[in-house]
Amino acid sequence: MKAVILAGGLGTRLSEETSIKPKPMVEIGGKPILWHIMKIYSSHGINEFIICCGYKGYIIKEYFANYFLHMSDVTFDMRFNQMSIHSGYAEPWRITLVNTGDNTMTGGRLKQVREHIGNETFCFTYGDGVSNVNITELIKFHREQNTLATLSAVQPAGRFGAISLGQEQTKITSFKEKPEGDGAWINGGYFVLEPQVIDFIADSSTVWEKEPLEKLAELEQLSAYKHDGFWQPMDTLRDKNYLEDLWQSDKAPWKIW
């Protein structure tokens, strides 16, 4: 099975990093978050990836072109223009990188890689969020539902400290640093899709989360796999630092490899 990863957005809310690199190349623990996402899929036996590039996509291409060097110890013999690899390690990955345009919307990016997907069920996700969602169980669930699309539904924790105040109350009687949120389920990405869903995408300006998903839901062709484990997008520098702290403390729930 193949996994399609969106990696072309501008990442404007993380401009401290994305002014010089695409958002999926922002590093957690010295590795791009894109690498972490691919490792999650790979741990479930999915090793063929189609990456939808856009903004500064050449940086992603250069990273994988030099991946063996990134992961290995090397000796350069400048006298003879020779390079020796020591303790080289290569992932069992096959990666197709497609330039889908700087300003293309999420649905349009998926439509542009249609020829690389083929006619089989495939996975689809965003290039800026990590999770310990069980991909194997997600795929199994999708097939049991017999729908064209399945998304992972998650319940994010609240971002800010919550206080309890009545209409005229001025003294705080309850405070929670990280509330559980309002209980609503949201789209956490990590989709499993049938190739027919691409027919619901009109053109490059189509936002995947709007007309296509709305139409699939209307036709009862969209299922929700409820994931109550770890899920965290990297939208801001605060998110990035949170993920980095988890990684450095060896408490990264998404590290299932």
Q: Which amino acid is at 165?
A: L
Output the pLDDT for position 158: 65
pLDDT at 86: 81
Predicted local confidence at residue 221, as pLDDT:
94
pLDDT class of 178 with cuts at 50, 70, 90: low
Residue 148 clears pLDDT 70, i.e. is over it: yes
Confidence grade of residue 192 (pLDDT, cut at 50, 70, 90)? very high
Q: What is the pLDDT of residue 183?
A: 64
Given pLDDT bands bounded at 50, 70 and 90, which one contains residue 176? low
For residues 143-155, average pLDDT: 93
Please say if the pLDDT value at position 177 is more than 60. no
Provide, rounded to the nearest whole percent, the portion of the chain with pLDDT above 70.
86
Q: Round the average pLDDT of the chain to a whole number and report it.
A: 89
86-137 residue pLDDT tens:
876 778 999 999 999 999 999 999 999 999 999 999 999 999 999 999 999 9
The predicted structure's pLDDT at residue 241: 95
The 3 state secondary structure assigned to the chain is: CEEEEEECCCCHHHHHHHCCCCHHHCEECCEEHHHHHHHHHHCCCCCEEEEEECCCHHHHHHHHHCHHHHCCEEEEECCCCEEEEECCCCCCCEEEEEECCCCCCHHHHHHHCHHHHCCCCEEEEECCEEECCCHHHHHHHHHHHCCCEEEEEECCCCCCCEECCCCCCCCCCCEECCCCCCCCCEECCCEEECHHHHHHCCCCCCCCCCHHHHHHHHCCCEEEEECCCCEEECCCHHHHHHHHHHHHCCCCCCCCC
